[in-house]
Amino acid sequence: MAATEQTIKQVNTLGSSDYKYGFSTEVDEIRPPKGLNEEIIKFISAQKDEPEWMLEWRLNAFKVFNKLPKPQWAKLNIPEIDYQDCYYYSIPKSLKDKPKSLDEIDPEILKTYEKLGIPLKEQKMLSGIAVDAVFDSVSVATTYKKQLSDLGIVFCSISEAVKTHPELVKKYLGSVIPVSDHSFAALNSAVFTDGSFIYIPEGVRCPVELSTYFRINAMNTGQFERTLIIADKDSYVSYLEGCTAPMRDENQLHAANVELVALDNAEIKYSTVQNWYPGDKEGKGGIYNFVTKRGACRGKNSKISWTQVETGSAITWKYPSCILQGDNSKGEFYSVAITNNMQQADTGTKMIHIGKNTSSKIISKGISAGKANNTYRGLVNILSKAKNARNFTQCDSLLIGNQCGAHTVPYIESSNSDSMVEHEATTSKINEDQLFYCQQRGLNSEDAVGLIVNGFCKEVLQHLPMEFAVEAQKLVAISLEGSVG
């Protein structure tokens, strides 16, 4: 389906007040009360018409969550999260509360959209006004629906997959990120709302880029996103996670779990452009983006490649990782992380080498401006059986101004003497002479910074699919606005 049908379903629930589970609901909202407990989990599961086994799985995850210690933050300054003070099923407030016309939206947001080149109709959609426009945004899935299903490719929401492909979901869900992995993994497993499910059958090369552009955040259900992608033997898929819209909410928790599984000779390319609302200049508001993304290269010669452009969120805490189990498997991580004003980012990757001749490559570009802090934290772990494993890591940091910080924290653990690990790191300030040169050619200071920073990030941006690369370049420039004098 599903994207369309799912959207229709969700739109329908928007219009009707739904009291059937006996929760006391404030007049204009369709939301269970705040708090985290078994009742809420049952409510979520029932809302989704889930089979019994799924509910059991969730409830078990909740038990695990209660037993796990809360994460200890390194380098991040995070206020304690009160789990009882959160909503866990955030169907948007009734349409009444939403801006009814473009005039009611903060002109700053509109300006950002304009600069991104997002047409007016999509601006409305992003701002949650014209919900019908959402139909267009899922056209990627629906346009190619016939073509995809002819190839046996499954691309639908995870909620739907639970019903239509229970055997695949049961087999793989939680197989890469165990429920007990850490506190957020358990929390997500208990209360996840939606996300994508992809299955590429043996020998199939997915002919189009699969994407969830706009979908999740437009419906405001993305706080506990769950995505599962399985590439069967000899298959290939490239998946894009869309540029999510800035949101005007208070500090809001986004704890996603994304699992990838690549079997023999399969390849998964996963790209993200993350642009959640970063909070204002003083650091008020913004998303806490705590994402667990992990890929398992289970089969021999399999490959998983993560590319991310992280420009949004008040706090980003994210380490897309690869478990290189299959012999000759490859993991790649290409990252641009930009922090401006009061933003904090702690991001990097983990490459766990288990199989023989496994190789990994890490290219990280961190840019800090304003009073922001940007940390690369990476782990390369080569286990004793990983004969002849290889890793290359390059971390470059660029500082704009005198009040920001960049930190590089590479952990390397090698239990194998024939493996080779290379690490290079640089930190530099943006070059005043380069800026002057560009300005002498007529670029204003913001365009000059954008140009130089885009050049700095090129090695990463060129790994994005074409359609995304242009947008990402604009985003890079926009997120640094106001960073120079």
Contacts with another protein, residue ranges (CB under 8 A): 431-434, 436-445, 447-448, 451-452, 454-459
Least Å from the CB of residue 378 to another protein: 22
Beta strands 344-347 and 154-157 are unpaired
Nearer to another protein, 30 or 452 (CB): 452
CA angle 171/220/270 to nearest 5° reads 50
Least Å from the CB of residue 34 to another protein: 47
Nearer to another protein, 68 or 469 (CB): 469
Neighbouring residues of 329: CB distance < 8 A, sequence distance ≥ 6: 262, 297, 299, 300, 301, 302, 303, 304, 355, 358
Nearer to another protein, 361 or 458 (CB): 458
Q: Tokens at residue 8, please?
A: 């229709």
Nearer to another protein, 117 or 178 (CB): 117
For the chain, the distance separating the N- and C-terminal CA atoms, rounded to the nearest angstrom, is: 50
CA–CA gap between residue 100 and residue 98 (Å, rounded) = 6
- The residues pairing with 366 across neighbouring beta strands, listed in sequence order, are 337, 397
Nearer to another protein, 247 or 448 (CB): 448
Nearer to another protein, 50 or 396 (CB): 396
Nearer to another protein, 38 or 447 (CB): 447
For residue 77, give Cα distances in angstroms to 81, 166, 182, 183, 346: 12, 40, 19, 18, 11
Nearer to another protein, 427 or 445 (CB): 445
Nearer to another protein, 302 or 473 (CB): 473
Least Å from the CB of residue 257 to another protein: 34
Least Å from the CB of residue 462 to another protein: 9
Least Å from the CB of residue 448 to another protein: 8
Nearest to 450 by CA among 340, 375, 356, 362: 340
- Report residue 113 CA to chain centroid gap: 20
What backbone torsions phi and psi does residue 145 show, to the nearest 5 degrees?
-55, -45
Q: Tokens at residue 467, please?
A: 């359609």
Helix (H) or strand (E) segment spanning residue 364: strand 359-369
Least Å from the CB of residue 397 to another protein: 15
DSSP assigned state of 205: B
Beta strands 196-200 and 154-157 are antiparallel
Least Å from the CB of residue 278 to another protein: 24
Nearer to another protein, 22 or 442 (CB): 442
Residue type at 46 in one-letter notation: A
- The residues pairing with 373 across neighbouring beta strands, listed in sequence order, are 344, 405
Nearer to another protein, 240 or 448 (CB): 448
CA angle 293/91/131 to nearest 5° reads 100
Q: Name the one residue in this structure whose structure tokens are 């704890």.
A: 255
Least Å from the CB of residue 455 to another protein: 3
Please tell me whether residue 200 adopts helix, strand or coil conformation.
strand
Least Å from the CB of residue 111 to another protein: 16
Q: Tokens at residue 386, please?
A: 């990983």
Least Å from the CB of residue 91 to another protein: 43
Nearer to another protein, 66 or 444 (CB): 444
Q: Name the one residue in this structure whose structure tokens are 């021999």.
A: 300
* DSSP states along 366-389: EEEETT-EEEEEEEEEE-TT-TT-
Angle between helices 445-461 and 432-440 in degrees, nearest 10: 110
Q: Burial level of 285, CB count in 10 A (0-12/13-18/19+)?
A: middle
Least Å from the CB of residue 452 to another protein: 6
Nearer to another protein, 142 or 434 (CB): 434
Least Å from the CB of residue 426 to another protein: 12
User: Could you tell me the maximum CA-CA distance found in the chain, to the nearest angstrom?
Assistant: 67
Q: Name the one residue in this structure whose structure tokens are 């070059």.
A: 431
Least Å from the CB of residue 447 to another protein: 7
